[in-house]
Amino acid sequence: MRLLPLLAASVVFASTLPAQEKPAPPIDLGDAQMLRRIYDAALVDSPAFEQLRELTEKFPGRLSGSAAYEGSTKWAEAQLRALGCDRTELQPVMVPHWERGAPERVEFLTAGTRTPLAALALGGSVPTDPAGLTAPVIELPSVEALKNADVKGKIVFFNGAMNPRYVIPGQAYGEAGAQRNRGPAEAAKRGAVGVLVRSLTHALDDLPHTGNTTYLPDAPRIPAAALSTLAANQLSAALRADAELTVTMQINSRWLPDAPSANVIGEIRGSEFPEKVILVGGHLDSWDVSPGAHDDGAGCIQSIEVLRLLKAIGYQPKHTIRCVLFANEENGLRGALEYARIAGDKKENHVLALETDGGGYSARGFNIGNAAGDAHLKAARFKPLFEPYGVFIFQAGRGGADVGPLMAKGNTVAGLIPEAQRYFDIHHTRADTIDKVNKRELELGAAAMAALVYLVDRHGL
């Protein structure tokens, strides 16, 4: 690209605003100016990227129950205190405590040769016998394919790839993800002794992706691991050549008693309706192998940044603006459940609970949900204010995992939609590192969130 300002026709500032129907006060030019101030504060001099660097470098592998997680809660509370919150809190919650132990080992044996495969035990997997589990393998494309397969005494190898046709990778993840989440339990019901799962990513490389698996009370708990996509292809090719090959899996994990932990909370007290809350949040835990830069360090830092931005522009909110960094999203959701339980006990009214857990990429919009199913239509009246910033999507949705329990109690929720093509390349891996995050993309996400919070605070939803 040359020096010609190719894209110069884009607008930095919305100079005209459409007429709006209802709420008092009306959306006006002041709102456009406030959004511009929010974006300026985010883009010009934000500490967010360096905060995320510090979080990921000081507290990688923040899995529930770990020392890294506990350290990150104190660090995050200090950040919230430093920006001038009226109140901060470490809200206690008991969390599951699973540990990977010594690195897992997966290899296949064919024609007298052992070949190691890049693998990671799934989160929550039971260990194998210390000597390992050796069994023949059956490859299946999905959980549904178990119906017509004889898996007794075998290791089931779920090798369904994420469907590339979905434009939004999260849809392909949701679909293929059944193999990881339900696959081991369903295979165990039918007599399988272990499970291998193709990593949930469009990328073809040697990076295994972990993630949670859910056992069922009425089925045996069998060991389960994810293979990198290249390892999955390699095993599949080997099976075509030798259907009788065996795989040896060795997993050294253990389950410990539930551990005391905490959600991290910081808030700016509302000037008119302090009892009404607009929540912004993400989850502070990450997988044990991952620094959790995009998942969901970025979301936590953006949520902290929303509060900083409102203060930086000198805005005094009418409602209480609360940042919640949830514990235990990855393997239990206990933080979100406990937060919603306490909020219910206190009869707190959440005007909006906005979650960000899709990666710290450029913001493209919001999914918004309420019981009546019309919240996204109401929010769409803000759309012209967002378009100069490249934020176009206001669609119905369920916000995200951590605001799910609040939605179940009748609150309105939302989720930031980032430009997410790169997210599953590094999701739940050791490669989810700070160098994958672009400073301005992180800032643009935080600014979009702060803008929505400001507009809902002023105009309601």
Restricting to residues 343-362, which ones interact with a copy of itself according to CB under 8 A? Answer: 357-359, 362
Chosen residue from 77, 107, 186, 296 binding a copy of itself by CB under 8 A = 296
Q: Name the pairing type of β-strands 254-268 and 87-99.
A: antiparallel
Choose, by CB under 8 A, the member of 115, 233, 252, 395 that binds a copy of itself. 395
Among 404, 406, 458, 459, the residue binding a copy of itself under the rule CB under 8 A is 404
Site string for a copy of itself, 115-144 (x = CB under 8 A): ------------------------------
Rounded distance, CA 237 to CA 231, Å?
10
Sole binder of a copy of itself in the list 126, 397, 431, 454 (CB under 8 A) = 397
- Rounded Cα–Cα distance for residues 87 and 409 (Å): 24
Per CB under 8 A, contacts with a copy of itself among 7-66 are 7-10, 12, 39-40, 43-44
Distance from chain centroid for Cα 284: 10
Closest CB 146 distance from a copy of itself, rounded Å:
18
Q: Would you say 68 or 203 has its CB closer to a copy of itself?
A: 203
- What is the per-residue burial (b if ≥16 Cβ within 10 Å, else e) of 290-310? bbbbbbbbbbbbbbbbbbbbb
Q: 165 Cβ partners below 8 Å, 6+ apart? A: 172
- Select from 98, 158, 423, 454 the one that contacts a copy of itself (CB under 8 A): 423
399 binds a copy of itself (CB under 8 A): yes
Out of 186, 267, 285, 295, name the contact with a copy of itself by CB under 8 A: 295
Query: In degrees rounded to 5, what are phi and psi of residue 270?
Result: -70, 145
2 sits near a copy of itself (criterion: CB under 8 A) = yes
Q: Total binding residues for a copy of itself by CB under 8 A?
A: 72
191-220 binders of a copy of itself (CB under 8 A) = 202-203, 211-212
- Return the residues of window 149-188 that contact a copy of itself according to CB under 8 A: 164-171, 173-175, 177-178, 180-181
b/e 222-249 (16+ beta carbons within 10 angstroms → b): bbbbbbbbbbbebbeebbeeeeebbbbb
Q: Amino acid letter at 204?
A: L
**Which CB atom, from 89 or from 419, has the smaller least distance to a copy of itself?**
419
Read off the DSSP letter of residue 148. G
Share of the chain residues as helix, strand and coil, in percent rounded to the nearest 5: 35, 25, 40
The residue whose two tokens read 């990921």 is 56
**340: part of which helix (H) or strand (E)?**
helix 334-345
Local structure of 442: helix, strand or coil: helix
Q: Is 240 in the site for a copy of itself (CB under 8 A)?
A: no
Of residues 323 and 437, the one with the C-beta less far from a copy of itself = 437
Q: Which of 330, 338, 348, 432 binds a copy of itself (CB under 8 A)?
A: 330
431 to 460: interface string for a copy of itself, x by CB under 8 A: -------xxxx--x----------------
Q: Are 331 and 261 in contact (CB under 8 A)?
A: no
